[in-house]
Amino acid sequence: MSKPIIVVLAAGMGSRYGGLKQMDKIGDRGEVLLDYSVYDARRAGFGKAVFIIRRDIEQDFRNIVLSRIGESFPCELAFQEMDSLIPPDIAAAAKKINRTKPWGTAHALLCARDKIDAPFTIINADDFYGREAFDAMGSYLAADTVSEGAIVPYKLEKTLSPQGTVTRGVCEVRDGYLVSVDELTAIAREGDGKIYNTADGSKRRLPDDTPVSMNFWGFPPTIFADLQRYFDGFLAGSGAVQPKAECYLPMAADWFIKNKLLKIRVLEADAPWFGVTYQEDRETAIKRIADFTVAGLYPEGLWK
């Protein structure tokens, strides 16, 4: 059986961050945050990385990222553009309403379909997930037969940013399986110390230990036909006429579950998480990576 694959979502524009956070240097030797995820994945038994990027950042990505990782670990690139895999009439209509960005993380995964021939995990480039999470996912995906999906959720309180609101996929879990995912925007801890979702103008209280998706998913390669059906339905609906509408993987996972197309296991992993949603998050990320290096979790220079 082929080793599992790590797929990295690295095509984002970083509008809230103010730049290409997937290539912002975090480590002492120029490592970016995704370096640490790929390093942990290799350690956990993954056999290849597929990076989903935009063509306009390809050369910078090759210079900053692949020039290091590619010498130590097999890597491939997939490209997500606004018109990738999009019917010509819908692409033309999108340009008329001044759409400039691709169609979200479900669209991104479809753009990498021809690079994926084994069970795989998919993650964000701008998040740190922790080696425990990769160990749990790697063990699951390395099984002889992988017919179900998997997710490593994180406690909501550990995924907030002091710089502003965040979007999280709130998970309902029952008997070790995911029951639903509700993508909520505008989540933040307020002055009373409690966490609220205020996207619709009202306040919805969320417990600190609410499990949330940070886009750490595992799937068998057989999901693509159903994922394409879901994305086609998105395009046929309001997605094609809204300039900023996106088709998210948590929404697709919820659709899989509701339609009994795929069961998704919840994997337990007491792993740290941090990310770089805002520019101010960068210094925290640099410090935490430095602390992990001093503690011996990572070597000085990952890809010697």
* pLDDT value of residue 70: 82
**Nearest one of 26, 4, 22, 25 to 13, comparing CA atoms:** 22
pLDDT band at 239 (very low <50, low <70, confident <90, very high): confident
CA neighbor of 218 nearest in space, from 247, 194, 244, 249: 249
Q: What SS3 class is residue 189?
A: strand
Interatomic CA distance for residues 26 and 288, integer angstroms: 10
Task: Report pLDDT for 240.
Answer: 74
238 pLDDT more than 60:
yes
* pLDDT score for 130: 96
DSSP assignment of 211-234 equals: EEE-S-EEE-GGGHHHHHHHHHHH
Instruction: Give dist(CA 73, CA 302) in Å, integer.
Output: 12
Q: What is the DSSP secondary structure assignment for residue 246, as one 8-state letter?
A: -
Asked if pLDDT for residue 76 goes beyond 60, the answer is: yes
DSSP code, position 22: G
Average pLDDT over residues 75-88: 95
pLDDT at 18 over 50: no
Burial 201-212 (b: 16+ CB within 10 A, else e): eeeeebeeebbb
In the predicted structure, residue 64 carries a pLDDT above the cut 60:
yes
At residue 7 the predicted structure's pLDDT band, cuts being 50, 70 and 90, is very high
State the DSSP code for 3.
P
Sole residue written with tokens 């995990």: 121
Global pTM reads 0.93
The pLDDT of residue 17 is above 80: no
pLDDT class of 19 with cuts at 50, 70, 90:
very low
Mean pLDDT of 63-67: 89
Q: CA torsion angle for 59, 63, 65, 69 (degrees, to 10)?
A: 120
Q: What is the mean pLDDT of residues 281-295?
A: 93
Pairwise CA distance, residues 135 & 37, whole Å:
11
The phi, psi pair for 216, rounded to 5°, reads -110, 85
CA 218-257-134 angle, to 5 degrees, is 15
| Residue-level pLDDT at 133 | 97
Left (φ > 0), alpha (ψ -120 to 50) or beta: where does 156 sit? alpha
The per-residue pLDDT for range 174-206, each reduced to its tens digit, is 999 999 999 888 999 999 999 999 888 889 999
The answer to whether the CB of 224 falls within 8 A of the CB of 111 is no
Q: Which pLDDT score, from 0 to 100, does residue 182 have?
A: 92
In this prediction, residue 282 has a pLDDT band, given cuts at 50, 70 and 90, of confident
- H/E run at residue 140: helix 131-141
- How distant, in Å, are the alpha carbons of 43, 56, 128 from that of 26? 20, 22, 11
Quickly state the pLDDT bin for 155 (edges 50, 70, 90). very high
Q: What is the mean pLDDT of residues 74-83?
A: 95
User: How far are the Cα atoms of 38, 66, 193, 195 from residue 71, in angstroms, in the given order?
Assistant: 13, 8, 47, 44
**Which pLDDT band holds residue 127 (cuts at 50, 70, 90)?**
very high
Identify the structural domains of the chain with CATH numbers, from first to last.
5-294 (3.90.550.10)
Give the pLDDT score at 280.
Answer: 82
Give the residue from 169, 81, 94, 140 showing the smallest Cα distance to 266.
Answer: 140
Q: 86-95, 107-116, 224-233, 237-246: which range is least confident on average?
A: 237-246
The reported pLDDT for the residue numbered 20 is 57
Q: What is the token pair recorded at 114?
A: 């021809």
pLDDT (mean) for 127-155: 94
Average pLDDT over residues 13-23: 51
94-98 average pLDDT score: 90
Give the amino acid at 197.
N
